[in-house]
Amino acid sequence: MENLQTTYNNDETKDFGRKLAKTLHPSIALCLSGDLGAGKTTLSQGILEGLGALPPYTSPTFVIMKEYVLREATETGIKRIYHVDAYRIESKDIEHLGFEEWCSDPSGLVILEWPERIAELLPQKRIDITLTQKGEMEREIVVTKK
């Protein structure tokens, strides 16, 4: 399945994330590709909100992984969210942190920024999302479900 959306400001990107959140199931890695500033974290914030995670939704760029435990599981059974940013890390290091365990958590959802940095570790079960900056405020978002 492929789905394309164009947004013209932050809120529209977050709103797309909120709606996408309702379609998500556990044990899947949501891989967000796109250049610096494309909107990966902004989209993640909308997804986190849509899943009912408690704010603040700070970027995991410096902590590598930020875990959210939901007060109430989603209808599809997601209880934990692992928001990961692989920009500053190598495959072997993120492996040691437990990347494969996060991906196989039966009640977990991984949201991964910079998946291309750890290409060899990406699981089969994933949704690929590519964000492209088309203008100052314009972003194209393509969702591909495998």
Residues at the contact surface with ligand ATP, assessed by CB under 6 A: 7-10, 12-13, 34, 36-42, 61, 113, 137, 139
For residue 126, the partner it binds in ligand ATP, Mg ion, none, with Cβ less than 5 to 8 A by kind, is none
CB 97 within 8 A of CB 66: no
State in angstroms the smallest separation of the CB of 38 from Mg ion: 8
State in angstroms the smallest separation of the CB of 59 from Mg ion: 5
- Say how far apart CA 107 and CA 8 lie, in whole Å: 33
For residue 8, the partner it binds in ligand ATP, Mg ion, none, with Cβ less than 5 to 8 A by kind, is ligand ATP
The reply on whether position 41 binds Mg ion by CB under 5 A is yes
- Say how far apart CA 33 and CA 130 lie, in whole Å: 5
State in angstroms the smallest separation of the CB of 17 from ligand ATP: 10
Question: Which residue number, 76 or 130, has a Cβ lying nearer to ligand ATP?
Answer: 130
The reply on whether position 40 binds Mg ion by CB under 5 A is yes
The reply on whether position 42 binds Mg ion by CB under 5 A is no
Instruction: Put the strands of the sheet holding 108-113 in their side by side order.
Output: 2-7, 139-145, 126-133, 28-33, 108-113, 80-85, 65-69
Residues with Cβ within 8 Å of residue 4, at least 6 apart in sequence: 140, 141, 142, 143
Question: Which residue number, 13 or 74, has a Cβ lying nearer to ligand ATP?
Answer: 13
